[in-house]
Structure 1
Amino acid sequence: MARNNARYGREDVEAYDRPRRSTRPRTKDRPTYDDAVDGVVVTVDRGRFTVVVAGRQIWAVKARPLGRKGVVTGDRVRVVGDTSGDDGALARIVEVRERSTVLRRTADDDDPVERVIVAGADQLVVVTALADPEPRHGLIDRALVAAYDAGMAPLLCLTKADLADPETLLSTYRALGVPWVVTRRGADGIDGLGELRERLAGRTSVLLGHSGVGKSTLVNALVPDAGREVGHVNVVTGRGRHTSTSALMLALPGGGGEAGWVIDTPGIRSFGLAHVEPDHLIEAFPDLDEMTEDCPRGCTHGGDEPECGLDEAVARGEADPERVESFRRLLAARSATDY
């Protein structure tokens, strides 16, 4: 209908009414999703999620009401729709359960944006080769910091012990009380795999480490049908090539997740810790934490603090100097540039 306005002729666009916005009131009722079923996200690929529901894998997308809420590998979720797992079937994730733990990093130490790597894991397995490539303390220390900050139990997994003596590296971390397992390549596979299986049993464990250290080799040995691509170390740079491009969660053999889960992650090249506060880190060491109660306000507990309670405790013989030094090395790892 033309507007009753002499300024506009019939040939003018403004002469016609624009479509009006609907005046229908929005309903306050929200779906209850009573028919939703529980699942766990095992991998994420370009906005689609592979979810394990009742022992079978299904495809799912995120429901619109979730908005920008991120969904990551390890999330426990509720899904609706076609959960048959048949070809072409697609479900919707309608709820993300509260996360028990969150392993996160920043791209750089001064980057305020946190990136969640995985959720719901209770153990961080720091995989480090003893040679080929050479071990790098920087990443080990940073991974331990991330584990303590997330409330996850750390575990050192030293691979390729047939090429170098593990004692040199282990002596650095004994004072922290970090447990470890050692594996080596044997004639019939990987020696030491049995002890690693015991450490993983009944837990959700994230494998983290540089490319080329043997994460995918371990996953293929632990989960025979995993089929993870195995990379090689560049003889010039001494560094591995990325073979895993996204985090993948796999059930250990023995009961659809009841025996435990392992999460293989892409090789790490940057692991910023801008989100970790010194006071939060020291809480992971209760024996040291209680010695800092009289520290001056703003004390970082580092070695350059003039009146830190840790130094006073060492002087009184109440603290193990090696343990304090090890803790401070982790603290310094938050701002180290070489890892």
Structure 2
Amino acid sequence: MSRRGRRSDWERLDESDVRVRPGKGTRPRSKRRPEHADARAAMVVEVDRGRWTCALDGKPDREIIAMRARELGRTPIVVGDLVDLVGDTSGRPDTLARVVRVADRSSVLRRTADDNDPFERVVVANAQQLLIVCSLADPPPRTGFIDRCLVAAYAGGLKPVLCLTKSDLAGPDEIIAAYAELAVQVLVTRSDREPDEVRERLTGQISALIGHSGVGKSTLVNKLVPDAMRATGVVSAVGKGRHTSTTAVALPLPGGGWVVDTPGIRSFGLAHVEPDDIVAAFDEFVEPAEECPSGCGHLGPPADPDCMLDIVTAEGHASAGRLASLRRLLASRARLDEYGD
């Protein structure tokens, strides 16, 4: 029989004998995700190399180590975040739970490495107030840094509180006067006394602490939380200090509440902040700012000659001192201040 007259085995097959394997692109994908109805609520208190330490039900004596569930992808999770956990939530050694949900944040403390850095870093989530720690001497106060921290607090929805340390070395009157128009609460401490006023202000709250290295922040934390054992830095000869806190960590206060000790930093970038974010913290200027020309930075002449904030102040509807304080913060955000970091 000739080759053309023979039918090979594959020629005798019909379509019912062939099994077609679908390609990856044709497989149906479900958008449904597990509901995790049995998830337990917790607060993130520390982050370390892909592992999150969480206080179960917000209780400091119920710490759980967790990993991020695959379904969350690269969702950022920071100290202060309120999360839902599944899996082993016993807290026993060598156990690991999974973070399956992250709640919406009520506030965020953000910073960038500098003002040209487009990458925002969320330092703390859901804190109610920001305690800005500044020494009155050794190293000397840096009002430019305080201003930028105030901007970050206003933009992130935190109530700022200024804490002046080392008052046994220098008086606080000049700094207090500089921030009088902003109505920022100022607490004053000294090395040889207990920080009772600070302790009272923080109890029952979630508070983030921020400050340059060497200003006494870790010393303050060790007094507020005796079991904290945070390293205490030694100020260098040039006044920059040694960075002693390397990661943010939430520490429980004996009387209730949490303090989030953040790493000592030398710069506080504000690339993520817009002028209107700052104006929003000044109720009397919010509506007039909406009438300003497009692109107005609210800095006043010569940069913004038609700024409406000047008009409402001239008409007596707002304090000139408040406007000057607002513009100092705006200038700090724009790196136009004369105070320096």
Same fold per TM (> 0.5)? Answer: yes
Q: Which amino acid aligns with 1:165?
A: G
Query: Identity percentage over the alignment?
Result: 57
1:48 and 1:64 map into 2 onto residues whose CA distance is: 13
CA RMSD of aligned residues (A): 1.9
Give the equivalent residue in structure 1 for 2:3. Answer: none
1:39 to 42, 62, 71: 42
Alignment of 1:155-304 (within 5 A): 155-186=161-192, 190-191=193-194, 193-235=195-237, 237-254=238-255, 259-304=256-301
Q: Which amino acid aligns with 2:299?
A: G
Partner residue of 1:308?
307
Q: In 1, distance between residues paired with 2:277 and 2:112? A: 17
Deviation at 1:76, TM superposition (A): 0.3
2:329 aligns to what? 330
Aligned equivalent of 2:87: 81
Alpha-carbon distance between aligned partners in 2 of 1:153 and 1:89, rounded to the nearest angstrom: 37
**C-alpha distance after superposition, 1:241-287 (max 9, x if no partner):** 11111000011113xxxx21110000112211111111121011001
**Could you tell me how far apart the structure 2 residues matched to 1:325 and 1:157 are?**
22
- What are the superposed Cα offsets for residues 82-110 of structure 1, whole Å, 9 maximum, x if unpaired? 11111111111111011111111112212
Q: Does structure 2 retain, via aligned residues, the 8 Å contact 1:138–1:336?
A: no
Would the aligned equivalents of 2:83 and 2:100 in 1 still touch at CA under 8 Å?
yes
Query: 1:319 offset after TM fit, Å?
Result: 2.5
> Separation in 1 of the partners of 2:280 and 2:152?
13
Structure 1, unmatched stretches of 5+, are 5-18
Q: Which SS does the other structure have where 1:289 is aligned?
A: helix
- Give, in whole Å, the separation in 1 of the partners of 2:305 and 2:165: 40
CA shift, 1:27, in A, is 4.8
Q: Which amino acid aligns with 1:243?
A: T
The 3-state SS of whatever aligns with 1:280 is helix
Is 1:51 matched up with 2:50?
no
Cα distance in 1 for partners of 2:175, 2:30 equals 62
1:9 is matched with: none
Please tell me whether the aligned partners of residues 300 and 306 of structure 2 are also in contact (alpha carbons under 8 angstroms).
no
Shift of 1:111: 1.9
Residues 248 and 264 in structure 1, CA contact (< 8 A), matched pair in contact too: yes
Cα deviation, 1:272-303, whole Å, max 9, x if unaligned, reads 11111111210110012234344223221103
**Which residue identity does 2:163 align to in structure 1?**
C
Q: Deviations over 1:202-235 (max 9, x none)?
A: 2111001101111111111111111111111002
Confirm whether residue 118 of structure 1 aligns to residue 124 of structure 2. yes
Q: Retained in 1: the 8 A contact 2:106–2:157?
A: no
The higher radius of gyration belongs to: 2
1:132 alignment partner, SS class: coil
Deviates more, 1:292-301 or 1:81-90: 292-301
2:6 is aligned to none
Residues in 2 aligned to 1:113 and 1:185: alpha-carbon distance in whole angstroms: 37
Q: Verify: 1:107 aligned to 2:109, yes or no.
A: no
Q: Could you give the per-residue CA deviations for residues 105-152 of structure 1, whole angstroms, max 9, x where no partner exists?
A: 112212222111110111011000001111111110000000000111
SS in 2 for 1:135: coil
Give the TM-score, by structure 1 length. 0.87
Q: TM-score, normalised by structure 2?
A: 0.87
3-state SS in 2 of match to 1:147: helix
The CA distance in 1 between the partners of 2:222 and 2:328, in whole Å, is: 34
State which drifts further: 158-167 or 264-273: 264-273
Deviation at 1:26, TM superposition (A): 4.6
Aligned length: 313
Partner letter of residue 274 of structure 2? E
Which amino acid is the alignment partner of residue 54 of structure 2?
Answer: V
Describe the shift of the 1:311–1:29 C-alpha distance in structure 2 as closer, same or farther (beyond 3 A).
closer
Aligned equivalents of 1:70, 1:318: Cα separation in 2: 43
Shift of 1:29: 4.4
Aligned match of 2:156? 150
Q: Contact conserved, 1:41 with 1:51, CA < 8 A, in 2?
A: yes
Amino acid at match of 2:327: R
Higher mean C-alpha deviation, range 215-224 or range 311-320: 311-320
